[in-house]
Structure 1
Amino acid sequence: MSPTPGRLFARVTALPAIALGAWLLVAFPLLLLGLFTPLAGALAGIPAVAAAVVLVPRLLPALPEDDVPWWPLAATALITVAFAAVQTAYHAEALVIRRDPSSYAQFTAWIAQNGSLPIPQQRDLIAGDDPALIYGSLAFYEVGDEVWPQFLAGAPLVLSIGYWIGGLTGMVVVPPLLGALGVLTFAGLVARLAGARWAPLAALLLAVCLPEQWVSRSTYSEPLAQVLLLGALVLAFDALASRVGPRGRWGAPHALSAAAGLVFGLGLVVRIDALRDLLPVVAFIGLLLLARRGQALPLLAGLVVGLGYGFTAGFGLSAPYLEYLSGSLDPLLLLSAGVVALTAVLTAVLWRRGVPRTDRPGWLPTAGAVLSVAVVAVLAARPLVYVSRGHGDEATGVFVGQVQQAEGLPVDPDRTYDEMSLYWVGWYLGLGTLLFATLGVALVVRRLLQRRDPQWALPAMVFIWTVATTLARPAITPDHPWADRRLVVLVLPAFVLFAVWFTAWLIRRLRRAGPSPGPWAVAGATTFCAAVLLVPTAITATGVMTYRSDVGSIRGAEALCREIPSNASVIIVDGLYYAYMPLIRGVCGVPTAAVFSTDPADDVQRVIGEIEERGRTPVLAASEPEAIFAVEPSITAVSHPFDVHSDQDMSTLMEPPDGSWPFIGDVWIAVLS
């Protein structure tokens, strides 16, 4: 018997999170054990992913509406494929570390080729413990005799699949595919909450949005995090579609709950700030326990396992990074502990009484809706009455001041622009979407407090909490499109979801108004609402449709590696090390260090002698030939294998980006044979 459109839609849109969750479940232990190789990945990963995508979707119920036609599924598939094609055509080649995508790329290149962490400094192949040498760089921390990459391992574990298949080129086309899977997964969530016929509009709106396009072109972690967190909401929705008591026999709802909890928790393997987004899930589990729902304990068990992976990834493989973040991470950990403790206490206290009645008193639902609108109004009014200051980082202040000068703004380097966060959303989605989303969230909150639409409880808790906390304090360098990373995983999907849900509610009310509107009026209203949502978004998105970032970096990296002998030990003699050391060490696979001293010429001569004593070939690298000649006057010729002239993302503060800035990358080398 062939599946119905509703059941097929449900299965297809849950598959990305299921497959990626299964991969992370087996890939992370391999990395932890130092066995993350293509062979081990295939032997463990292929059966795990195959089993997950075959068995779990069979447990999924059909969409919660009757007579779902085929066209929403076909339209969603077309949007997903088109998004993947466009993003692949515009994909970036960010390998030189300036910001996060290249950091993730170099993290990936290392583990894909070597299968383990940390990165050995290989001092014995250079100059032993010579005090003039350093081994750390931007996004790579020197700790004792080791180097640890910044960030968590989740995204590199997935990007490594592309690296194994197609090298650097294969790696950089994975993000467009992940971005497309995020759009598909989001469409599945909208189909469950607003109806399948509205899913294509929501998918198209998210796909067109500038930050969604931009972040899916480079090796960022947000596309993967988006698939996992939205996919976990999809699985949780399906798990809770039927009511199961605490003593009920184990079945599909229990298994789906465990899978949802696991995928939620695995989000922490990808991004440490997922911990904040998961706090509402903890509170929701408390509500499930009070409601005597059998799905509560499986959801909790899956979440604990996934968080166990995440904390191991953070404190086991990214401890220097978490130490760097301690100023913001420690309060988050304390908050998380408080939420867990408070949920446990309230669950115990209310155990006999069950879930509190939020529809009594009768004014509470309306008050909740008014409060929702008031919070948005406060966020909108912030720039009129308040200017946020205090980066806590001198380098960030210097950069912000430079961008202010470039834009002709008053120079105020300490300004964080946090108060502008809601305006950022408005840039990319338009005022119409902001208005519809505000009305939508107010209606959803009111209906939930009236104890209606319980299927909205978990999505509303997660989205409202994440939107409020993110917009209140984005905590990111405030230039665009960089700062818009904060919006991609859940904030933009939340606004799109609530706006489309409100549109669907509005059209249903119009249809129920009686025969007077007529089908043409309903069609006209639907078209008008869709245009209000889509047109401003599409206009702003043209800012990323004119360039590809860092094009030529792969060609340059391959040329650089070809000119470095396999038995070389590379010494970087100027500030080139800051951005290029991980590329030379990880992609080219040769021991690399940088001279950092007050007397570089004498130190370089000494290090060259020590390398030659070890029977290896010294190679000097710098950002310009003069830096090499200054430390080794006997050199008469240098080569310029990495010579890249391309585009890179621009930086704006008070308006959305609408183009690119030039990127020039240079690596000069001298092989001392």
Structure 2
Amino acid sequence: MADSSSAVMSPGVSPVTEGRFSLSEWLFLAILAAILTLGWIGVLLAQLGLFALLNFVPFLLIGLVICCALLALKGRQLWFCIRGAQVGITEAATGLLLLLSFLLYFRPSEHYPLVGDSAIYANNAALLSREGTLVYHYSPLDGLDPDSRRQFYVPSSEQLSFMEIKSYQGLLFGAYYLMDAASGQVVSSRLPLFTVWMAIFYSLFGPRGALFATPFFGALSIWAFYLLGRRLFSQKVALASACLLALSFPQIYFSRASYSEVLTQFLLLSGLYTLALFLDTQRQPCLLLAGLCLGETLLARLDSLILLVPLLILTIYWLIRRYWQRLAWLLLPFGAVAVHALAYLLTLGRPYIGATFEILRLLSRLDFTYLLLGSLLIIAPLFALFYLVRIWRRGSPWLQKARPWGVAVASILVFVVAGWAYFIRPMHPGAGYDHEALVRLGRYLTPLAIWLSIFGLVKLLNLDLSAKNSLLLLFASPFALIFLSRQMVAPVYPVALRRHMSIVIPALLLLAGYGLLQWRRPTRLLKATQAVALTALFVSLIVSDLPYLRYTEAEGAIDLLQRLDSFFEKSDVVLFEPTSEHSQVGWFATPLWSLYGKTALLLSKEEIDEEALSRAMAVWESQGRRVYFVSQSGAPSSPIAESYSLDLAFQEEWVSSIIGQSPTHFAYIWHFDIPFYLYRLRWAEGQGF
């Protein structure tokens, strides 16, 4: 059993790296510093309404001057460090993992049509790139009276049947918050960091290139995960675990679709890696990077607030140990970004955070206070015990003797809770979506990986708990405790896995790799068992991935949008029929406005106020604008068809597919053929306003 002194948060030496940097690590840290800087600057510019590539230039010049100054002052020392960097298996493994990530992830989903939450980020990014701000003006509502405007958005009082949302006035396209219908002011409905990164890619490479932001961060996450595993455990554990993560369906899905999960995952894994790197090398700039990583997660996802629990525990411990310099290097950058995130949430992000908390509170899922407190009560005593053992390990034989018993009790508790969550909880008479969280996660990662991770956790507690790998448990535990008990997301898969992406799935696979592969003197039988188990894991993951490996979601969407854009003139008004079970053409209303600035309006419901629509038609007619109606039917049965003359002007079809969202396992591919009928809308004979 490891000496108790290894189980506290004090500097340690990795058996793999011995405190030295590899060339792969130097390169990763340089890229990480650039990403953290550009992302934060981008959010600031977007908040100020100044987002444009040209406005990054002054900051890049300042950064260049700082780099030149550092080279002048520390260039010789830095050169010797880089020249002395280890070159070998780490660089080969990094190349292998990046190649694997490229092959798996760089088929991004064309999620501009509003097929789900991922399309919200893509459309927000396009609009940010075009307008340069996170507050937009929806000009299609200009000149319309209140009743006419109400035909084209969902009032907050009607969005949900069981409550009225008070944080905004209405929902536009299902993607933007309408703050004031009279002025047409809308704001982004998500936190800004990932939107900013997609907007950077959009500004550089256009609509198709913007979608590669997700694969880019997916690949970087695998790199960060590998470096973290290498620092915490060993080269073998890190490489095997990183390959498992790269091949897992959740990682593939969220590294292709434009969700913010992989960016958050990258930031959190990078934060843990730089913390572990500091404990190895005692280089304080690593803490600066860690603080920025953890802080910027607050600008990416709201559930990153859970990070405050482990960060509080770490801060308290370092205060007790009087590690003042460590605290300053970590908390000052974290605090600066956290203050910025708070300012955003209280201003532009207020509708988003307000609506989220309103809905979760009503659904009785917002017991965050109790969940966070419970996490704190579970984790804090464990680290308090380690601290007491550290202080009194020589003067208190009783505590030293009690430690094995405490670890034994903790190990038994882990097995009991895991067995209950996996076998008993789903069989409860009232079992539902939340009760099956661990089982469903096991279906995507394989049950073998889940139980190897549980075994790895128990093994870690008994044999190898140290300063660095305790960081993994400290930061992963609150997320696992909360989201494996309450998932707080729609009960459909694979999107329901998003809460586990940032740290839960990586932590489980890293513990599984450790439990399977890290043994001091493995026997032949153990080696054979390791080979069989590892082969079974890889084969299971690859087989489950096969239908998706050469598959692109929503393929052809960008081409269709470009054809629609070329057909309509800037002054044309385009009405889309309401989205329903029988019509999905309304998915394209959002990107037609967000990407191209067309006057695209989506009818909010089937029951149309004909008088209100007639008044809107009169306004557009007085402005000399042509009005089109987009339907999925060659013979529309909408009230519009009864009141107006419809002349077919253009016909298209979209033959594609998306990964369907279903409460069942496994994710299925929904193939469809959606026809688009574009009608020129005129007053019927004898009618008019």
1:161 deviates by 2.0
Equivalent pair of 2:492/2:663 in contact (CA under 8 Å): yes
- What is the 5 A alignment of 1:290-305? 290-293=320-323, 294-305=325-336
- What is the 5 A alignment of 1:645-660? 645-657=655-667, 659-660=668-669
> Structure 1's 173 and 472: CA in aligned 2 closer, same or farther, altered over 3 A?
same
Question: Is 1:422 equivalent to 2:452 in the alignment?
Answer: no
Q: Counterpart of 1:232 in 2: which secondary structure?
A: helix
1:177-203 superposed Cα distances (whole Å, 9 cap, x missing partner)? 211111111001001011234322121
Moved more, 225-234 or 34-43: 34-43
- What is the 5 A alignment of 1:490-529? 490-506=503-519, 508-510=520-522, 517=523, 524=528, 526-529=530-533
2:663 and 2:79 map into 1 onto residues whose CA distance is: 46
In structure 2, give the amino acid aligned to 1:72. T
> Structure 1's 266 and 62: CA in aligned 2 closer, same or farther, altered over 3 A?
farther
Question: Is 1:11 equivalent to 2:26 in the alignment?
Answer: yes
Q: Which residue of 2 aligns with 1:405?
A: none
Q: Which residue of 2 aligns with 1:224?
A: 263
Question: Is 1:542 equivalent to 2:553 in the alignment?
Answer: no
Q: Which residue of 1 aligns with 2:647?
A: 636
> Structure 1's 241 and 324: CA in aligned 2 closer, same or farther, altered over 3 A?
same
Question: Is 1:374 equivalent to 2:416 in the alignment?
Answer: yes
Q: Which residue of 1 aligns with 2:273?
A: 234
2:526 and 2:419 map into 1 onto residues whose CA distance is: 30
1:284 deviates by 1.2
Question: Is 1:70 equivalent to 2:81 in the alignment?
Answer: no
Q: Which residue of 2 aligns with 1:582?
A: 590
Equivalent residue for 2:451, pick from 435, 438, 441:
435
* Identity among equivalent pairs (%): 20
1:140 deviates by 2.0
In structure 2, give the amino acid aligned to 1:256. C
1:60 deviates by 11
- What is the 5 A alignment of 1:51-130? 70-88=88-106, 90-122=107-139, 125-127=142-144, 129-130=146-147
2:69 and 2:229 map into 1 onto residues whose CA distance is: 24
Q: Which residue of 1 aligns with 2:299?
A: 269
1:338 and 1:425 map into 2 onto residues whose CA distance is: 25
Question: Is 1:669 equivalent to 2:678 in the alignment?
Answer: yes
1:42-95 superposed Cα distances (whole Å, 9 cap, x missing partner)? 5436865997899799999999xx99761232123222122223321x321112
In structure 2, give the amino acid aligned to 1:438. I
> Structure 1's 61 and 221: CA in aligned 2 closer, same or farther, altered over 3 A?
farther
1:469 deviates by 1.8
1:454-513 superposed Cα distances (whole Å, 9 cap, x missing partner)? 11222211122222221111122222222222222211101111111223322x232xxx
Q: Which residue of 2 aligns with 1:514?
A: none
2:211 and 2:341 map into 1 onto residues whose CA distance is: 24
Q: Which residue of 2 aligns with 1:38?
A: 53
Q: Which residue of 2 aligns with 1:386?
A: 428
Equivalent pair of 2:151/2:609 in contact (CA under 8 Å): no
Equivalent pair of 2:237/2:510 in contact (CA under 8 Å): no
Equivalent pair of 2:173/2:589 in contact (CA under 8 Å): yes
Give ranges in structure 2 of 5+ residues lacking alignment: 1-18, 154-171, 393-398, 683-689
1:432-457 superposed Cα distances (whole Å, 9 cap, x missing partner)? 32222112111323457xxx511122
In structure 2, give the amino acid aligned to 1:143. M
In structure 2, give the amino acid aligned to 1:288. W
- What is the 5 A alignment of 1:193-212? 193-212=232-251
Equivalent pair of 1:183/1:207 in contact (CA under 8 Å): yes
Equivalent pair of 1:126/1:569 in contact (CA under 8 Å): no
1:337 deviates by 9.1
Equivalent pair of 1:569/1:616 in contact (CA under 8 Å): yes
RMSD: 3.8
- What is the 5 A alignment of 1:151-166? 151-166=190-205
1:606 and 1:225 map into 2 onto residues whose CA distance is: 47
Q: Which residue of 2 aligns with 1:476?
A: 489
Equivalent residue for 1:140, pick from 176, 183, 191:
176
Moved more, 309-318 or 420-429: 309-318
Q: Which residue of 2 aligns with 1:192?
A: 231
1:304 deviates by 1.7
1:585 deviates by 1.6
1:608 and 1:509 map into 2 onto residues whose CA distance is: 80
1:353 and 1:53 map into 2 onto residues whose CA distance is: 47
2:94 and 2:388 map into 1 onto residues whose CA distance is: 44
Residues matched between the structures, number = 615
> Structure 1's 465 and 420: CA in aligned 2 closer, same or farther, altered over 3 A?
same
Equivalent pair of 1:134/1:593 in contact (CA under 8 Å): yes
Equivalent pair of 2:646/2:680 in contact (CA under 8 Å): no
1:339 deviates by 9.4
1:653 and 1:494 map into 2 onto residues whose CA distance is: 25
> Structure 1's 340 and 421: CA in aligned 2 closer, same or farther, altered over 3 A?
closer
1:273 deviates by 0.7
1:167-224 superposed Cα distances (whole Å, 9 cap, x missing partner)? 2110112211211111111001001011234322121111111110111111111111
> Structure 1's 289 and 342: CA in aligned 2 closer, same or farther, altered over 3 A?
farther
In structure 2, give the amino acid aligned to 1:93. E
In structure 1, give the amino acid aligned to 2:100. A
In structure 2, give the amino acid aligned to 1:455. K
Moved more, 222-231 or 367-376: 367-376
1:354 deviates by 11
Q: Which residue of 1 aligns with 2:218?
A: 179
